[in-house]
Homo-oligomer: A and B are copies of this chain.
């Protein structure tokens, strides 16, 4: 099975989806990304690298950053964290406040916006410089010290992110934010505004395919059990309100972002990162999802 050939096939077919979705427009900095971009990168735990299309082009990782935030939290925040955020699929849009009100300010999981705000608040309580640590984490996992926030995107989020600002204040109103709301939001907007390529994301996620060990750092980021737990959260909560469909069609733990990126994990083997900015109605990359579906069909990979 020639992965270069497979990725080439995917890169030629999956982008045919482009035109049926919509690029995220809620902040101007995202809205101006060309819709026809498509990249895919595979990294195996044994060190092989495959890629096609725009796999080396930077994009805004947005919600994919929530995985890095949770990785950090799993390392340094104790289990009381799970009293403040649950581990269940939300069954609702990623930025909905309805469920949060019904459930008294306890977010359903760390991968919806409200949950990520709580995770970041917990990080700030321990780290103080949460933004810096987060950036170092992303740089360390990729071995690329040039990785950085897109400050224009972060600024744009800060200016237009009224729903996220509402959510952070709402959480504070339920005593589920300990630090200053503006400080938490500033970190949140920066995390989301991290710029990375498919190739970098695939590398950064390798510990999740490798029992927690980063081939770059040659060190364990998470324990094997934490790695399985993280993958379970990705599977059940990593796609907003479309997790079941993705598990059915693709069958891999993954996390998507409204920048059009998706990273999937084949435990024990490899990671696959895709990018294409047009989104479906649930906010997941259209061509990216199709690419991952093709990948698992062709390679017969699935956790099921």
Contact = CB atoms under 8 A, between A and B. Distances in A.
Interface of A: 86-92, 96-99, 101-102, 108-109, 162-163, 165-170, 172-173, 181, 227-229, 231-233, 235-237, 241-245, 247-248, 251, 253, 267, 302-304
12 contacts: A87-B244, A87-B245, A88-B241, A97-B166, A162-B169, A162-B173, A165-B166, A228-B304, A229-B304, A231-B304, A233-B248, A235-B247
A232 B250 CA distance: 9
Nearest to A91: B91
A16 B160 CA distance: 45
B170 A166 contact: yes
Q: How many monomers of this protein are in the complex?
A: 4
A6 B144 CA distance: 46
Contacts of A253: 304
Contact of A232 (B169, B237, B304): B304
Nearest to A108: B91
Contact of A101 (B97, B241, B245, B302): B97
A165 B229 CA distance: 35
Given A91-B88, A101-B96, A173-B163, A237 B228 contact: no
Given A86-B244, A90-B91, 8 more contacts: A108-B244, A163-B170, A163-B173, A166-B168, A229-B304, A232-B251, A235-B304, A236-B243
Nearest to A230: B304
A170 B97 contact: yes
